[in-house]
Amino acid sequence: MEKMEIGSEQRKELWLQEISELKTHVLPSTRIAICGATGAGKSTTLNAILGVDILPTSGMHACTTVVTEIVFHDSDIFWGDIHFLNVETWRKELRVLLDDIGEDFHSEEGRMAWEKLHAVYPSIPQESVGKMTIDQIISSDRGLWPVVSLDKVLMLTTEIANALGTTQSTASSDVKEFSRTISEYVGSSNEKPGGGSRKAMKHSWWPIISKVVIRCDSDVLKKGAILVDLPGIGDENRARSSIAPSYLKDSDCIFILAPITRAVSEQAARVLLGNAFKLHCPNCHFGSFADIQNSITFIATKCDDISTAEAIDELHLHDNPDLMRLEGNRKKFQNDLRKWKEMEKSASKQLQNIRQRTKQIADAVDKDEAQIQALKKDKSKDQHITDRVLRKRKPVQASVGSSRKRIKNTNSGDLTVSDGNSDTELFSDLDESDLTSLSETDGLDDVSGDDLETLKKIKKLLAKNKSRKIRMIERQSKAQDQKEVASGQVSSLEGVLSANQRETRSLCALKRSASCTIKLKEDFRSGLKELNVAHERNHHPNDSTGPPVNLYRDYANVDLPVFATSSRDYLKLSGPKQYDGGATTFTNLEDTGIPALRRWCQTLAEKSRQRSVESYRLRLRTFSSSVKNYLHNHDDTACAEREVLRSQWATTTSEEEAPSDSGSESESDLESDREERHQASSNLLASLATGPDEPGGITGYLEKAFGLVVDKTTLTMKNTIKDALYEESKLGAGKAEVEATDISSTFANSMHWRTYRSTLSRSGSFKDRDLNVELIAPMTWNMAHSWSAIFDIDVLANFEVSAMQAINEGLGLVRRSCPVALVDRMNNQIDLAKDQAKQVLRTRKNTARKTLKAFQKEGLSCVSSHVQDELEDAYDEAFQERGIGSVARQKAIFQGHIQRHKTEMFNSGVDALFQDIDRVIAKVGVSLRRALKNLAKQVEICLSVVWEEPSRENISSADDERIIKLLDEILSQTEQWGDAT
Render pLDDT for 388-405 as a digit per residue (tens, 0 to 9): 444 444 444 443 333 334
Helices (H), 632-667: 639-649
CA distances from 827 to 629, 824, 942 (A): 12, 5, 11
pLDDT tens, residue by residue, 110-168: 777 888 888 888 877 777 776 777 777 766 654 444 443 444 333 333 678 888 899 99
CA atoms of 882 and 888, how far apart (whole Å): 11
Question: Taking 90 as the threshold, does the pLDDT of residue 693 lie above it?
Answer: no
Other beta carbons within 10 Å of 155:
12
Dihedral pair phi/psi, residue 876, rounded to 5° = -65, -45
pLDDT tens, residue by residue, 541-591: 555 555 554 444 567 777 889 999 999 999 888 875 555 678 889 989 999
Question: Taking 70 as the threshold, does the pLDDT of residue 266 lie above it?
Answer: no
User: Which residues, 6+ apart, have CB-to-CB distance to 911 below 8 Å?
Assistant: none
159: enclosing H helix or E strand: helix 159-163
What's the whole-number mean pLDDT along residues 435-446? 40
Q: 780 in helix, strand or coil?
A: helix
Other beta carbons within 10 Å of 269:
25
- 232 pLDDT band (50/70/90 cuts)? low
What pLDDT was estimated at residue 560?
86
From 928, 926, 698, 943, select the one nearest 836 (Cα to Cα): 943
CA atoms of 33 and 714, how far apart (whole Å): 34
CA atoms of 97 and 758, how far apart (whole Å): 9
What pLDDT was estimated at residue 194?
41
pLDDT tens, residue by residue, 867-925: 999 999 999 999 888 888 888 999 999 999 999 999 999 999 999 999 999 999 999 99
- Percent of the chain predicted with pLDDT > 90: 25
CA atoms of 229 and 184, how far apart (whole Å): 16
Amino acid, single-letter form, for residue 848: A
CA atoms within 13 A on the CB side of 502: 15
Amino acid, single-letter form, for residue 738: V
C-beta of residue 63 within 8 angstroms of C-beta of residue 56: yes
Q: Compare 625 and 528 and report the one with higher pLDDT.
A: 625
Question: Is residue 60 left, alpha or beta, with left meaning phi > 0 and alpha meaning psi from -120 to 50?
Answer: alpha
Question: Taking 60 as the threshold, does the pLDDT of residue 46 lie above it?
Answer: yes
CA-based angle 842:844:848, to the nearest 5?
115
What pLDDT was estimated at residue 375?
72
160: enclosing H helix or E strand: helix 159-163
CA atoms of 237 and 62, how far apart (whole Å): 9
Other beta carbons within 10 Å of 563:
20
What pLDDT was estimated at residue 443?
38
214: enclosing H helix or E strand: strand 209-216
Q: Quote the mean pLDDT of the chain.
A: 77
Biggest CA–CA distance in the chain, Å, is 162
What pLDDT was estimated at residue 217?
93
CA distances from 388 to 239, 351, 447, 458 (A): 87, 33, 12, 14
Other beta carbons within 10 Å of 566:
32
CA distances from 743 to 511, 875, 912 (A): 46, 16, 22
CA atoms of 797 and 680, how far apart (whole Å): 32
Q: Tell how strand 209-216 and strand 78-84 pair up.
A: antiparallel
CA atoms of 929 and 877, how far apart (whole Å): 47
What pLDDT was estimated at residue 339?
93
What pLDDT was estimated at residue 666?
40
C-beta of residue 227 within 8 angstroms of C-beta of residue 32: yes
Question: Taking 60 as the threshold, does the pLDDT of residue 838 lie above it?
Answer: yes
Residue 227, Cα to own-chain centre: how many angstroms? 4
What's the whole-number mean pLDDT along residues 11-23? 86
What pLDDT was estimated at residue 781?
77
From 973, 88, 958, 220, select the one nearest 617 (Cα to Cα): 973
Question: Taking 90 as the threshold, does the pLDDT of residue 178 lie above it?
Answer: yes
CA atoms of 45 and 47, how far apart (whole Å): 5
Question: Taking 80 as the threshold, does the pLDDT of residue 197 lie above it?
Answer: no
Domains in the chain: boundaries: 86-164, 311-372+455-556, 633-649+680-950
CA atoms of 703 and 930, how far apart (whole Å): 10
Burial group, residue 532, by CB count within 10 angstroms (0-12, 13-18, 19+)? buried
What pLDDT was estimated at residue 757?
84
pLDDT tens, residue by residue, 294-333: 788 999 999 999 999 999 998 999 899 999 999 999 999 9
From 82, 42, 558, 518, select the one nearest 254 (Cα to Cα): 42
What pLDDT was estimated at residue 544?
55
CA-based angle 26:29:33, to the nearest 5?
160
What pLDDT was estimated at residue 276?
54
What pLDDT was estimated at residue 854?
79
CA atoms of 678 and 633, how far apart (whole Å): 24
Which 3-state string (H, E, C) describes 249-309? CCCCEEEEEEECCCCCCCHHHHHHHHHHHHHHCHHHHHCCCCCHHHHEEEEEECCCCCCHH
**How many residues does this entry show for the chain?**
981
From 311, 300, 265, 257, select the one nearest 511 (Cα to Cα): 311
User: By mean pLDDT, which of 52-56, 381-385, 434-438, 962-966 is the weakest?
Assistant: 434-438
pLDDT tens, residue by residue, 90-116: 888 888 888 777 756 667 777 778 888
CA atoms of 427 and 435, how far apart (whole Å): 8
Q: Compare 8 and 42 and report the one with higher pLDDT.
A: 42
C-beta of residue 269 within 8 angstroms of C-beta of residue 258: yes
- 419 pLDDT band (50/70/90 cuts)? very low
What pLDDT was estimated at residue 441?
41
**Radius of gyration of the chain measured on its C-alpha atoms:** 44
- Percent of the chain predicted with pLDDT > 70: 72
Question: Taking 60 as the threshold, does the pLDDT of residue 677 lie above it?
Answer: no
CA-based angle 752:758:764, to the nearest 5?
105
User: By mean pLDDT, which of 62-71, 83-92, 833-842 is the weakest?
Assistant: 62-71
What pLDDT was estimated at residue 850?
83
Q: Compare 192 and 588 and report the one with higher pLDDT.
A: 588
C-beta of residue 869 within 8 angstroms of C-beta of residue 775: no
Q: Compare 766 and 311 and report the one with higher pLDDT.
A: 311
From 910, 909, 768, 935, select the one nearest 841 (Cα to Cα): 935
CA atoms of 431 and 411, how far apart (whole Å): 26
Amino acid, single-letter form, for residue 306: I
C-beta of residue 188 within 8 angstroms of C-beta of residue 181: no
Q: Compare 700 and 190 and report the one with higher pLDDT.
A: 700
User: By mean pLDDT, which of 69-83, 801-815, 942-956 is the weakest?
Assistant: 942-956
CA atoms of 163 and 167, how far apart (whole Å): 8
CA atoms of 559 and 291, how far apart (whole Å): 10
What pLDDT was estimated at residue 711?
94
Q: 61 in helix, strand or coil?
A: coil
- Give pairs for 381-387: CB < 8 Å, separation 24+: 382/451, 382/454, 382/455, 383/449, 383/451, 383/454, 386/444, 386/447, 386/454, 386/458, 387/445
Q: Compare 595 and 774 and report the one with higher pLDDT.
A: 595
Question: Taking 70 as the threshold, does the pLDDT of residue 665 lie above it?
Answer: no
DSSP string, 574-618: HSS---S-S-SS-SSTGGGSHHHHHHHHHHHHHHHHHHHHHHHHH
